[in-house]
Amino acid sequence: MNEREQNTDDIHTLAQAALDALPAPFRDAAQQVALRTTDWPGEDMLAEFGISDPLELTGLYEGIPLTEKSVFDQPSAPDTIWLFRQPILAEWRERGDVTLGALVAHVLVHELAHHFGWSDADIAHIDRWWE
């Protein structure tokens, strides 16, 4: 399958496989985060972070990190991880040295790090991207 045939469902499937492959202590908690895939980040998302080029945003975590949650928090929406197909495919093409599944997993783990409040060392333990 070439990059033009990769649709948002394919990216979602790769992300779900990465979630399923997480170490047991994180797998169940990660499954509680809504996973959304779309072609591009919304203008409001880009504006919030001062990003002018949508290709610079491959993923986004929306929610309150577990390390900051309180029983008094009344969420207006579930914690959500957004994956953006076109920026992910652009990075995949540019790199040329990783599988699409590995890149999707990397983006997903980075966004989960925001949810869990992981340090760089925690991320390195889960995601061997830098090896």
Average pLDDT over residues 95-110: 92
Answer whether residue 19 shows pLDDT above 70. Answer: yes
pLDDT tops 90 at residue 22? no
pTM over 0.75: yes
List the alpha helices (DSSP H) in the chain: 8-20, 24-30, 43-48, 85-95, 100-116, 120-126
Q: Which domains does the chain have, with CATH numbers?
A: 3-69+79-126 (3.30.2010.20)
Query: What is the reported pLDDT for 120?
Result: 75
pLDDT band at 129 (very low <50, low <70, confident <90, very high): low
Cα torsion 119, 87, 24, 76: sign? positive
Q: Which amino acid, 117?
A: G
